[in-house]
Structure 1
Amino acid sequence: MSEFRQRGLIAARMLCVMELTDAACYAAFLSHDRKFDGRFFIGVASTGVYCRPVCSVRTPKPENCSYYPSAAAAERQGFRPCLKCRPELAPGLAPVDAGGRYAKVAARLIESGFLADHNCPQLAARLGITDRHLRRIFAEQFGASPIEYAQSQRLLNAKRLLMDTDLPLLQVAHEAGFSSLRRFNEMFCDRYRLSPSEIRQRQQAGSALPASLQFRLAYRPPYDWDWMMNFMASRAMKGLETVEAGSYVRSLTIMQGGKAHPGWVRVTPEPTQSRVVVEVSAGLSPVVPEVLAQMRQLFDLDAEPQDIAEVLGELALPRPGLRLPGAVGGFEFAVRAVLEQQVSVKAAATLAGRLIERCGEVIETPFAGVCRLFPSAEAVAALPVEVLREIGLSRQRAHCLHTLASQQAQGLLRLDFVVDVEAAITRLTELPGIGIWTATYIAMRAWGWPDAFLATDLIIRQRFAGYKPIDIERHAERWRPWRSYAVLHLWQGTPIRLTEPGL
């Protein structure tokens, strides 16, 4: 390794603890270090394109480079996406503060198609903030307005479909959210200065919809895939999901515009490339952006492992690639969390499988272990408490599950796109049978909250023998804002240094 490249690596590591100055960003670009992937994008004046820090093109001169916090911000300045490193594959950023949380949830709502039927003031109202506040935090996080971000996402999704599938151009335009092929061509050419047919090397207009589509998503290494797949396999719900041949497979229903889109998805890691391959069934093709967003959360692909390890210190040393397993849908995981109360992981999976068999809709897939969809809140709420008891639940847990489903079905409970985590936890604990452990566990996994801590968890309390929950909470303060990851490491039995309780 050259001395200059070594200096680049050293300076790039400083990026984790310093502002994104031009010098630090250029050093990270020189190092091509994947831990900076998605943290910023580079606009290159000499070519007119913008790249990821991991791009392997010939490095441009520093004076030709400018730096942006998001793809939308780079496109706002007139740059078009690099066809080699493909900015749409980059991992996102993990929200660790209130502003970041608002911006992240707003971005997820935009990606799910919220602005197709609503305006920015309505988006702000959905988040519980003013339109002005939304625009400010969005600009701080992404360097662009919500509308500009939405336009960028639509075009990047179209580019993804053009490069990763053989869908006809009309189909691409429709599934990317454009009202007509003409409008799609105009916006694409205006923004990227290339036509859709130029992006796609071979156009198959009129070809039939394939059985499945394949996409790739990048992440920042390290990633402990063996641990993650074992975690998923041990909790797999019969009929809904399975882990086979190194891949995770499950059925999925995405609601968009009042319409249900059922299908299946298969996720296969490619560790040598620091990415995953996501295969999506044809039935989910109209909602690909939301499917990919859910897979990002499920596998915690936006995590920043170096930042986490620096805070956790010795706790993270044995397994630096541990990720926070997420969830597909807040209601689904809330049901799972209730079923996990006071039973083993295996027993909870068995109970979930019985519930799915009882009221989950049948779906055809090419996988023997995936044949049903997770039941909707309406379907679970329609089951009397006595019927829920027949799957093996106590009366108390059956009543809790019925209440949870009923409140979700009636729109009295919000379990997706949660912004105010503490308020949502408090709301959950108001339901009969849901205590602080269950509510916090839902926040940890269903909402991807990185700073949840289960001080009352049995294993955690065993690790802190002699400590009261308040003392455990006090000790865990050192792990903010990554206490959810601390929980995972503590569950793995990682040694910890304890001071005298109360100190």
Structure 2
Amino acid sequence: MTDESRYEAVRSRDARFDGVFFLGVRTTGIYCRPSCPAVTPKRENVRYYPSAAAAQGGGFRACRRCRPDAVPGSAEWNVRADLVGRAMRMIGDGVVDREGVSGLARRLGYSPRQVQRQLTAELGAGPVALARAQRAHTARVLLQTTSLTVTDIAFAAGFASVRQFNDTMREIYARTPGQLRSAAPRGGHGRQPAEEGAGRPATTGVALRLAYRGPYAAREVFDFLERRAIGGVEETSGAAGSRTYRRTLLLPCGTGIVEVDEHHAGDRPSGREPGAPGETSGWLDCRLHLADLRDLTTAVQRVRRLFDLDADPLAVAERLGADEVLGELVARRPGLRAPGTADPHELAVRAVLGQQITVAAARTLAGRLVAAYGKPLPSPDGALTHLFPEADSLAEAPLSELGMPERRRATIRTVAAALADGTVSLHAGADRDEAERSLLALPGIGPWSAGYMRMRALGDPDVFLPGDVGVRNGLAFCGADAALSGQWRPWRSYALHHLWQLAASGGR
């Protein structure tokens, strides 16, 4: 984009560019998202920044009206597979907070200096500044949505000290933590920090709104997750349109349970239904129950990946909607997403379980696996009783409980061992091409399994599975050939989901 096109986006308050760039207003010292409802500043008073961290580094504080730190991340980081894209995904997952810049660089396979230089060149801020901006946003959410003490919030958000926390919040928001809490909407921090009862173990409960750029096809996403929900690890309750999806989480510092509601509200015009065509923003209501609050940032990012909340459905629709084959499907299901996963290792095992069998059969096998090898929760939470088995526990397991051929059991053990020893890496910033090559080198892993893992575990938006039965059926209903898929780059994963939806509906 040029400065001219950016200013046009600001003047028209175009929410499509929220998170893509930020504007700092020199006369006020405030930075905003492009869709900020405030009076449009004069062109000569505006500076543009590629990230919130860069705007903060430029001396600007966050706008109190549009809350620019709360917008979904740029969808560019999902598409890009280069150093910067991989680094951004890992920073979002909390790697810098846990392992520092040296840990981030080591995982990326570059020196800290190279990582610093590349991020600064493209985003106007290095990894420390980007992580700091993320910590500040997390802290603001906790201040305004929980009754946790300021000290607990400081360390939960990833700050090294309360003093560092206080200084950062004053610098970014021009308010003390106490003032930010007082400014919360009425009832904003009414949840108790230690929730017990109804069989729930002692955890810290945090209510959040997970923002997305719309439209968002919530019904299809919840259908997808409900059909694949593993007993003991996942459950979906309620009727379509008002369901709640729940699952257990294994996180760096402890365990957790997440609840996400299908019914959601956002910045939509009054009376407009969730997911309606033309909707430009919204959120999913989410509740996280964490054994250790330090896992909050990581848990949020994993839930966002599971529900594909950082996607850009308008960019997808622009490409796929103009296609002769897919145009009608895109118009029929605006905002269709490509769900990822909350646990890449779990997804890899599930992909092997699903080889050449139905979704229902794979779900049954996964339930048996959890019952035999999953780690029980300290106390059951409704139907949630276990964590999905860790890779190292499956690497030597007999798996005789599954009642499946030995060759496929051997494949599960092989994949689990490769994940446990690092032969295959599926973390947030993994090199997608290298991960796929490593997977294909394992006995029993073919193109379908490797591609499915790449799409869901690594969040690649440009995967196509021509050998998949559902894809072939969808193409047949369209009267199309898989050779056309090259026209759908870089959004072939979304094309695949449209074809799956078409096949599941019997061509309707």
Q: TM-score, normalised by structure 1?
A: 0.85
Match of 2:245 among 236, 245, 248: 248
Matched residue of 1:486: which SS?
helix
Find out whether 1:224 has 2:232 as its counterpart: no
Matched-pair contact (CA < 8 Å) for 1:210–1:282: no
Instruction: Name the residue aligned to 1:278.
Output: 286
Alignment of 1:33-432 (within 5 A): 33-95=14-76, 101-116=82-97, 118-201=99-182, 209-211=193-195, 212-245=205-238, 246-255=243-252, 260-269=253-262, 270-273=264-267, 274-312=282-320, 313-314=322-323, 315=326, 316-363=330-377, 367-384=381-398, 388-432=399-443
Matched residue of 1:179: which SS?
coil
For residues 252-279 of structure 1, the C-alpha deviation after alignment (integer angstroms, 9 at most, x for no partner) is: 1101xxxx41110111242444111221
Instruction: Report deviation, 1:233.
Output: 0.6
1-structure distance, mates of 2:192, 2:482:
57
Instruction: Name the residue aligned to 2:506.
Output: none
Instruction: Name the residue aligned to 1:487.
Output: 496
Matched-pair contact (CA < 8 Å) for 2:236–2:244: yes
Instruction: Report deviation, 1:96.
Output: 7.0
Instruction: Report deviation, 1:383.
Output: 1.8
Instruction: Name the residue aligned to 2:198.
Output: none
For residues 167-218 of structure 1, the C-alpha deviation after alignment (integer angstroms, 9 at most, x for no partner) is: 101101111222322232233334443221121108999x973321111221
* Range 59-68 or range 390-399, more displaced: 59-68
Sequence identity (%): 39
Alignment of 1:20-31 (within 5 A): 21-31=2-12
Matched-pair contact (CA < 8 Å) for 1:52–1:87: yes
* Range 276-285 or range 73-82, more displaced: 276-285
Find out whether 1:476 has 2:460 as its counterpart: no
Instruction: Report deviation, 1:101.
Output: 4.3
Matched residue of 2:309: which SS?
coil
Matched residue of 2:340: which SS?
coil
2-structure distance, mates of 1:278, 1:101:
31
Matched residue of 1:178: which SS?
coil
Matched-pair contact (CA < 8 Å) for 2:369–2:401: no
Amino acid paired to 1:167: L
Amino acid paired to 1:147: V
Instruction: Report deviation, 1:120.
Output: 3.3
Amino acid paired to 1:489: H
Amino acid paired to 1:391: L
Matched residue of 1:39: which SS?
coil
2-structure distance, mates of 1:80, 1:202:
16
Find out whether 1:448 has 2:455 as its counterpart: no
Amino acid paired to 1:189: R
Matched-pair contact (CA < 8 Å) for 2:147–2:192: no
Q: In 2 relative to 1, CA 432–100 (structure 1 residues): closer, same or farther, beyond 3 Å?
A: closer
Amino acid paired to 1:237: I
Unaligned stretches of 5+ in structure 2? Answer: 196-204, 268-281, 504-508
Amino acid paired to 1:294: R
Matched-pair contact (CA < 8 Å) for 1:455–1:472: no
For residues 205-248 of structure 1, the C-alpha deviation after alignment (integer angstroms, 9 at most, x for no partner) is: 9x973321111221111111111111111111111111223221
Aligned length: 465
2-structure distance, mates of 1:40, 1:184:
26
Matched-pair contact (CA < 8 Å) for 2:440–2:447: yes
1-structure distance, mates of 2:119, 2:157:
22
* Range 54-63 or range 408-417, more displaced: 54-63
Q: In 2 relative to 1, CA 88–287 (structure 1 residues): closer, same or farther, beyond 3 Å?
A: farther
Q: TM-score, normalised by structure 2?
A: 0.84
For residues 438-482 of structure 1, the C-alpha deviation after alignment (integer angstroms, 9 at most, x for no partner) is: 0011001111001111122223334556xxxxx956421111111
RMSD: 2.8
Instruction: Report deviation, 1:371.
Output: 1.9
Amino acid paired to 1:352: A
Q: In 2 relative to 1, CA 100–136 (structure 1 residues): closer, same or farther, beyond 3 Å?
A: farther
Instruction: Report deviation, 1:141.
Output: 4.0
Matched residue of 2:315: which SS?
helix
Amino acid paired to 2:212: Y
For residues 423-449 of structure 1, the C-alpha deviation after alignment (integer angstroms, 9 at most, x for no partner) is: 211110111111111001100111100
Matched residue of 1:390: which SS?
helix
Instruction: Report deviation, 1:408.
Output: 1.9
Q: In 2 relative to 1, CA 137–476 (structure 1 residues): closer, same or farther, beyond 3 Å?
A: farther
Instruction: Name the residue aligned to 1:3.
Output: none
2-structure distance, mates of 1:450, 1:102:
17
